[in-house]
Amino acid sequence: MPSQLVLPLPQRAALTRDDFVVAPSNAQASAFIDSWPRWQVPAAAIHGPSGAGKSHLISIWKAASGADVISASSLAGEFAPLHASGTPLAIEDVDAMPASPERDRALFALLANAGAAILLTGREPPSAWPTTLPDLASRFSALLALPLWTPDDALLAAVARKLFADRQILVPDAVIARMLVSLERSPAAIRDFVDRADAKALAEAKPINLALLRELLGEPS
């Protein structure tokens, strides 16, 4: 039987609040984002490993607050005065690259003169973020720091089940279990694999089962 034609339909970004699965590894940060606009602090930081959900939470906050979102690597000395509009601001990946005087002057100016809420992200806690300015180091250490932990099996399984359910696909528990031991341990990897499994199952008119997973993983039948 020839394969079905799978049309290249655009995929939803899947970064809305409804797509975010709350678990012990992210509950504190998720509750803080959900509390907007009743924040008790002018600035806060979310920190955790890659794939833990930092960008997803930033996307949720952007939708709720209308925040601008930039990367810390894009900061220049003249940026802070230009962002005096009172619009909330998210600054991602603060500790992703070495600190520089230009970046740090902009960060300090933003934190010292914020006209609206600021949310920062990084892998390490903000007290460990490198900086060339002692005053900025003090600002980092004073931030409300909200940790995200590496996703555990329960969270990744819940993400996988929800992604399949969103496509109205019911899969055996054995498929979910096999995904967890075979894939990178991140929601992004789970999401990508579900996309691939769905496309393959549709194209070949097959159910999503262990045999199809082995094909996708390049394993012998």
Q: Residue 32 pLDDT > 70, yes or no?
A: yes
- What span, in angstroms and rounded, lies between the C-alpha atoms of 52 and 106? 27
Q: Residue 46 in 3-state DSSP?
A: strand
What is each CA distance from 55 to 15, 90, 97, in whole angstroms? 8, 10, 17
**How many domains are there within the chain?**
2
- Residue where a domain terminates, one of 103, 119, 147: 147
51 and 107 belong to one structural domain = yes
The secondary element (H helix, E strand) that includes residue 45 is strand 43-47
Sign for the pseudo-dihedral over CA of 135, 92, 146, 88? positive
Taking the CA atoms of residue 181, residue 96, residue 72 and residue 144 in that order, the dihedral angle to the nearest 10 degrees is 70
Q: Give 76-94 pLDDT, tens digit per residue.
A: 545 544 455 678 999 999 9
pTM, two decimal places? 0.74
**Is 7 domain-assigned?**
no
The DSSP secondary structure of 175-199, one letter per residue, reads: HHHHHHHHS-SSHHHHHHHHHHHHH
**Is 175 domain-assigned?**
yes
Average pLDDT, the chain: 86
Q: Residue 181 is part of which domain span?
A: 153-216
61 and 117 belong to one structural domain = yes
pLDDT at residue 107, rounded to an integer: 92
49 and 142 belong to one structural domain = yes
105 and 164 belong to one structural domain = no
Question: How many C-beta neighbours within 10 Å does residue 84 have?
Answer: 13
**Is 6 domain-assigned?**
no
139 and 161 belong to one structural domain = no
33 and 111 belong to one structural domain = yes
